[in-house]
Structure 1
Amino acid sequence: MLVLVSWQVAVDGPLLGLDRWVRHGVRESRHELHSTLLNHLGTALSDLGGSVPAIPVLLAGGALAAWRSRRAAAPRWWLPAVVAVLTTGLIPLLVVLAKAWFARPGPFGAPLAADQWGWYPSGHTATATLAYGVAALLLARTVGVPARRRLYAAAALLALGVGLGLVWSDYHWLLDVVASWCLGGLVLWTLARRLPDRPQHPGRL
């Protein structure tokens, strides 16, 4: 999916018609509903993908996972904290490079200024998907099954909410958001396969 969407963005392919169709539908819905509450909610959800609060949540999740792993006398108990710090550097590296490469204009169609990177993929969506997702992955290895499921569900809902908030608020095209979900999912899948088995935890969250 990520390769397909990126190819369509690069060649201005017919799939981009989906972006225009969704944007038209969202703008009509906003006009018909004229709901200040929904508009504020969309903005608030979008803001959850900013560096604050996403990066502090990621670092706190890594620190808490390391502390719980140390209590469980796990080997390499410090690894979650290192992974969290490295992820904070990986997010801008992936997103900025892609934005500069594709240089896609935003929904309003204005040409990019000299200091702009472009809208594809969505930085806020990528930040939310990776920050909350990695925090959940790290903590999940120190808790029981019920808490693990809640962590995964919370991370998924936050990533979904940020993406939908960006589209509703007309900050991003839909495919910008979809690409970041795919990119974040790929990184999370790879990380989940690389992380060591979860230690025996001394307690449950």
Structure 2
Amino acid sequence: MRTERNLTRLDRVFTRLDREPERPAHIDVPKMSRHRLVLFSATLAFYLAIVWAVVITSWLVRLDWQVMFFRPYQQWPEIHAFLDYYVVLGQRGPTAVMVAAWLGWRSWRQHTLRPLLMLGTSLLLLNITVGAAKLGMGRLGPHYATTIGSNEMGLGGDIFPSGHTANAVVTWGILAYLASTPRARRWLSALSAVTSLGVGLTTVYLGTHWLSDVVLGWAAGLLILLALPWTEPLVARAETALFDLRDRWRTRQPVPVTATPGSLAPTAPVLLKPRAPAQDEAPAARETEAPAARETVAPPRPPRAPAHLAPGPHSTRSERTPVTPAGSRRPPHSDRLPRGTAASAARPVTGG
């Protein structure tokens, strides 16, 4: 009998990843270089400067109100329908699904979980940092503004910085961050910059964000991309832990057993160990018990009778006692005698 466990889709995925358990050597993992550290510091300073300019209601807030009163959606209504669809490139759900599909294929080809783990790390940082800033500053949007010329801060809003813009920078910028070659990284960086710039300006066109919201959203997304090299060691440990967990899970699966009828060897008879006689027993008793102690196991039992027969021994047909006596089966009559006797001749003949 041959029993084998059917491979599931998860087993096939792990088998594919096992072909090359280590990270490929041609993949360049970005590091926190001095140039990147300078860019991160400059972007952080710019982020804080935008927040301060809005808090003190500077010229940036007056520019926000001028753009809002300009109402771009009324100036160019012919592109309104297109921009309604284009702004979806900044929504977190659809963009995360599209980028995750691409990075999942990259993980399959490169035999590593790093692309998907980096995407999850960047989105987690985006939700924490941008979400905390939105709730902390509580700025109202243009459609809900209460006082002309006010910065609308601390009124329970959640639009500063722009989540659409920051999400577009991070989601499309992670493709450039994970690029395998410098040329692909340059092209993807330019494409993600244009896409995120268009998403931010689209939100200003639709009137859902102030211009300063979009500028701060660009800075927030860029800060996350520049800080990703600091998370590389943590991602590498997480990848190793996931593969170790996979190995432990696979060791708990039942091992396929292959058995054939010829592989079952007969069991050797078990001999009973002779009992050591007591010192006070007689020699004759020891001799009588010695043969019994060398006996093997009991002989096999006779085959069991079929279920349709009554229990107990059964004899053959020839050994059974006849039910009727030998001879004639006629019932006995007292006035009749067997043929061939003298009485039959003495019986009178009738009819003359």
Matched letter for residue 69 of structure 2: H
Indicate the structure with greater helix content. Answer: 1
Shift of 1:32: 3.9
Residues 40 and 50 of structure 1: CA distance in aligned 2, closer, same or farther (over 3 Å): same
**1:50-78 CA-partner distances (Å, limit 9, x unpaired):** 123211133234323333432xxxxxx32
- Pairwise CA distance, 1:195: 5.3
Residue in structure 1 matched with residue 204 of structure 2 by the alignment = 167
Structure 2 residue 99 is matched with structure 1 residue 58: yes
Structure 2 equivalent of residue 187 of structure 1: 224
Q: What 5-or-longer segments of structure 2 have no aligned partner?
A: 1-45, 147-151, 234-352
Q: Residue 120 and residue 42 in structure 1: after superposition, are their counterparts in 2 closer, same or farther (change >3 A)?
A: same
Q: Alignment partner of 1:172: what SS?
A: coil
Could you say which residue in structure 2 is the equivalent of 1:177?
214
Query: SS at 1:48's partner residue?
Result: helix
CA distance in 1: counterparts of 2:131 and 2:98, whole angstroms: 21
The answer to whether the 8 A contact 2:133-2:160 is kept is: yes
Residue in structure 1 matched with residue 74 of structure 2 by the alignment: 31
Q: CA deviation at 1:145?
A: 4.1
2:165 aligned counterpart, secondary structure: helix
Tell me the equivalent position of 2:56: 11
The percent of aligned pairs where both chains have the same amino acid is: 32
Q: Closer, same or farther in 2 for the Cα pair 1:149/1:45, shift >3 Å?
A: same
Runs of 4+ in structure 1 off by over 4 angstroms are: 192-196
Once residues 6 and 64 of structure 1 are traced to their aligned partners in structure 2, the CA distance between those partners, rounded to angstroms, is 39
Deviation at 1:129, TM superposition (A): 0.8
Instruction: Give the alignment's Cα RMSD to 1 decimal.
Output: 2.4
The superposition leaves residues 134-158 of structure 1 with CA deviations (integer Å, 9 ceiling, x where unpaired) of 13311x1x2x444333322221121
One-letter amino acid of the counterpart of residue 97, structure 2: P
- Give the whole-Å Cα distance in 2 for the aligned partners of 1:110 and 1:21: 13
* Greater Rg over alpha carbons, structure: 2
Please give the alpha-carbon distance, in whole angstroms, between the structure 1 residues aligned to 2:219 and 2:118: 20
Give the partner amino acid of 1:12.
Answer: T
Alpha-carbon offset, residue 82 of structure 1: 1.0
Q: CA deviation at 1:92?
A: 1.7
1:42 aligns with 2:83: yes
CA contact (8 A) 2:140 2:157 kept: no
Q: What is the aligned partner in structure 1 of residue 269 from structure 2?
A: none
Do structure 1's residue 147 and structure 2's residue 184 form an aligned pair?
yes
TM-score, normalized by length of structure 2? Answer: 0.46
2:118 counterpart of 1:83? yes
Mapping of residues 190-201 of structure 1, within 5 Å? 190-191=227-228
One of 111, 114, 134 as aligned partner of 2:174: 134
2:122 is equivalent to residue 122 of structure 1: no
Aligned pair count?
A: 180
Shift of 1:192: 5.3
Alpha-carbon spacing, 1:117–1:89, altered in 2? closer, same or farther (3 Å): farther
